């Protein structure tokens, strides 16, 4: 009762502040900050039976998320954006498709529960995930409306960078050095890998570190700070703690894209040579030791040594799971399995249309999923979105790819201006996309749609800004053209 009242009162204070000061962007920062700093215990602790039975399986963070999303929704209706950006209509169409996809997916999940798994708790497995997706759509709407300057984009990037700093401090001080043994137990996964005090899985840790590294490099380039470059490199430490190779490759890919886009030509050549040498060294290590580089470094730093499976074996296993995902798509098309229901339907008796008999190892992974010997997901976020949402999932991914490709095409036409902060900010976002896409190809983890909406909005916004980042540029050409037409 007391916790609910305190959170609700804090939401009212935030709403009143944003309405009075006409600064709705601060509510967006609050939404991001709640996701970044909310401790794991708040994500796992129930609100209790308040009201009677209503709060079962509703965690404190779920309530915080609902309150901040409600604040953003009220602001979207009460405060009009200063300038209606021309790109906003494309993002809004994407958000409408996303909301429709959420509703259809929720209905599909209810059908799956009634038909196959009646033991799945309705509120925990279906209602709460659907509400979470709606909250993220509201965040995307508010982001398009109120993040309209370079300075506001920098605040968003600063929050993401601080998340990486916090994870790095946890990994170094608590995981590897064990300064506070009583706290250390709460940041470990079941198999002893680094999971942080904030997030519920090491997959989330890897994704956040990829984005935080790119955001930190933005400030390092625009502020000409070697210290921030070193901080960005240190953010690889939490990824080593997870002992996952996918996020490690994604982080290196993001750093490489950032460097290639921002460094002068002569340095890019040096970087290309260093990157080639690093690739050859990594390939040699994998071929000789047949292991996971992140796992080896984690062990050398004092972390837990996990399973050291070869790259080829891991890839083929994931490929087998993707073929089982194709079975689910064909069986449930065009509606999908429902949000979060894919892993539970992998072992259900549905037709085996895509059994990969051409490869023994892929076939074994496929059969393990079919028989229920290995209850898991498709291990590919894009495949899982289509499995869970069917045709609308394909439409959503297609529209997102079109927006991103169109923005990147416009970005490539720009003249390289290495000292321009708008240019560097765009390079940062595309580096984030490169690393995150790689990571999502091998692990679904948490599908953070709100970050997708934020990054698509920023790649659409930044080209429209003045070089100084004062405000949207579309208004200026209209005023300049008026004398010429008269």
In this predicted model, what pLDDT tens digit does every residue of 340-354 receive, in sequence order? 778 778 878 888 888
> What is the mean pLDDT of the segment spanning 360-366?
85
pLDDT of residue 419: 53
271-205-402 Cα angle (round to 5): 65
pLDDT of residue 44: 66
pLDDT of residue 263: 76
pLDDT of residue 385: 92
As a whole number, the mean pLDDT across the chain is: 81
How far apart, in Å, do the first and last CA atoms of the chain sit?
66
pLDDT of residue 241: 86
> What is the mean pLDDT of the segment spanning 420-429?
90
* Distance of alpha carbon 413 from alpha carbon 31, whole angstroms: 34
DSSP type of residue 415: P
The DSSP bridge partners found for residue 370 are none
* Confidence band, pLDDT 50/70/90 cuts, at residue 279: low
Higher pLDDT, 276 or 297: 297
Nearest CA to 36 out of 154, 205, 289 is that of: 205
Q: pLDDT tens digits, residue range 139-167?
A: 999 999 999 889 999 999 999 999 999 99
SS3 121: coil
- Percent of the chain clearing pLDDT 90 (strictly above): 33
* Distance of alpha carbon 98 from alpha carbon 132, whole angstroms: 12
* Distance of alpha carbon 336 from alpha carbon 185, whole angstroms: 38
How far from 291 is each of 205, 207, 286, 287, 288, CA to CA, in Å? 21, 22, 6, 8, 8
Asked if the model's pLDDT at residue 215 lies above 80, the reply is yes
Q: H or E element: which one contains 176?
A: none
Asked if the model's pLDDT at residue 310 lies above 60, the reply is no
DSSP secondary structure string for all residues of 236-248: HHHHHHHT-HHHH
> What is the mean pLDDT of the segment spanning 238-250?
85
Nearest CA to 194 out of 324, 297, 91, 89 is that of: 297
Nearest CA to 275 out of 292, 289, 263 is that of: 263
Matching residue, tokens 């074994």:
364
Whether residue 360 contacts residue 333, with contact meaning beta carbons closer than 8 Å, is answered with: no
Whether residue 315 contacts residue 253, with contact meaning beta carbons closer than 8 Å, is answered with: no
SS3 188: strand
Task: Let me know how long the chain is.
Answer: 486
* Distance of alpha carbon 213 from alpha carbon 196, whole angstroms: 17
pLDDT of residue 168: 93
DSSP secondary structure string for all residues of 258-277: HHHHHS-HHHHHHHHHHHHH
> What is the mean pLDDT of the segment spanning 469-476?
40
Nearest CA to 85 out of 151, 144, 167, 12 is that of: 144
Per-residue exposure over 305-325, b if at least 16 CB sit within 10 Å of its own CB, e if not: ebeeeeeeebebbbbbbbbbb
The DSSP bridge partners found for residue 169 are none
* Distance of alpha carbon 15 from alpha carbon 472, whole angstroms: 25
* Distance of alpha carbon 341 from alpha carbon 338, whole angstroms: 6
pLDDT of residue 277: 66
> What is the mean pLDDT of the segment spanning 86-112?
88
* Distance of alpha carbon 360 from alpha carbon 320, whole angstroms: 10
* Distance of alpha carbon 295 from alpha carbon 243, whole angstroms: 4
Model confidence, pTM? 0.87
DSSP secondary structure string for all residues of 423-485: HHHHHHHHHHHHHHHHHHTT------HHHHHHHHHHHHHGGGB-TT--SBSTHHHHHHHHHHH
Residue ranges covered by each domain of the chain: 1-79
Q: pLDDT tens digits, residue range 2-45?
A: 778 888 999 999 999 999 999 999 999 999 999 988 876 666 66
250-191-207 Cα angle (round to 5): 20
pLDDT of residue 485: 41
pLDDT of residue 283: 55
Strands, E assignment, 172-240: none
SS3 149: coil
Helices (H) and strands (E) in the chain, counts: 22, 0
Query: Would you give the distance in Å from CA 465 to the centre of its chain?
Result: 25
> What is the mean pLDDT of the segment spanning 476-484?
38
> What is the mean pLDDT of the segment spanning 366-377?
79
């Amino acid at each position: 009762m007391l916790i609910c009242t305190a959170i609700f009162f804090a939401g009212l204070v935030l709403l009143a502040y944003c309405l009075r000061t006409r600064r709705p962007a601060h509510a967006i920062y609050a939404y991001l900050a709640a996701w970044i700093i909310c401790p794991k215990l708040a994500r796992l602790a129930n609100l209790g039976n308040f009201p009677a039975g209503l709060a079962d399986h509703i965690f404190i963070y779920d309530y915080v998320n609902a309150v901040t999303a409600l604040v953003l929704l009220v602001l979207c209706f009460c405060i009009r954006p200063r300038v209606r950006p021309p790109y906003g209509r494309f993002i809004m169409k994407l958000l409408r498709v996303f909301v429709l996809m959420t509703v259809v997916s929720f209905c599909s999940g209810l059908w799956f529960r009634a038909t196959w798994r009646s033991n799945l708790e309705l509120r925990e497995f279906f209602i709460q995930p659907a509400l979470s997706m709606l909250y993220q759509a509201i965040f995307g709407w508010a982001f398009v409306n109120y993040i309209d300057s370079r300075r506001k984009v920098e605040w968003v990037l600063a929050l993401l960078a601080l998340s990486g700093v916090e994870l790095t401090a946890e990994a170094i001080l608590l995981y590897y050095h064990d300064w506070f043994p009583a706290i250390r137990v709460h940041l470990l996964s079941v198999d002893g890998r680094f999971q942080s005090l904030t997030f519920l899985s090491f997959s989330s840790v890897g994704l956040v570190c990829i984005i935080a590294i790119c955001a930190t490099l933005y400030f390092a380039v625009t502020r000409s700070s070697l210290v921030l470059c070193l901080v960005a490199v240190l953010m690889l430490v939490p990824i080593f703690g997870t002992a996952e190779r996918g996020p490690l490759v994604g982080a290196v890919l993001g750093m490489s894209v950032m460097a290639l886009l921002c460094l002068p030509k002569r340095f890019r050549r040096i970087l290309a040579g260093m990157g080639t040498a690093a690739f050859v060294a990594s390939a040699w290590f994998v071929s000789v030791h047949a292991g996971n580089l992140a796992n080896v470094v984690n062990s050398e730093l004092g972390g837990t040594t996990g399973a050291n499976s070869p790259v080829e074996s891991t890839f083929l296993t994931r490929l087998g799971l993707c073929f089982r995902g194709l079975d689910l798509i064909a069986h449930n098309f065009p509606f999908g399995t429902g949000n979060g229901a894919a892993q539970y339907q992998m072992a259900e008796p549905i037709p085996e249309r895509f059994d990969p008999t051409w490869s023994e190892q892929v076939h074994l992974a496929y059969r393990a999923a079919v028989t229920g010997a290995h209850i898991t997901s498709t291990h590919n976020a894009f495949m899982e979105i289509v499995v869970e949402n069917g045709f609308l999932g394909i439409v959503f991914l297609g529209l997102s790819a079109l927006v991103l490709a169109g923005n990147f095409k416009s970005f490539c036409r720009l003249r390289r201006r290495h000292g321009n902060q708008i240019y560097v900010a765009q390079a940062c976002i595309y580096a984030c996309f490169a690393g995150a896409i790689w990571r999502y190809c091998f692990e679904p983890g948490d599908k953070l749609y709100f970050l997708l909406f934020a990054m698509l909005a920023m790649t659409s916004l930044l080209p429209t800004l003045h070089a100084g980042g004062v405000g949207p540029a579309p208004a200026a050409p209209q005023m300049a053209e008026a004398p010429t037409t008269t």
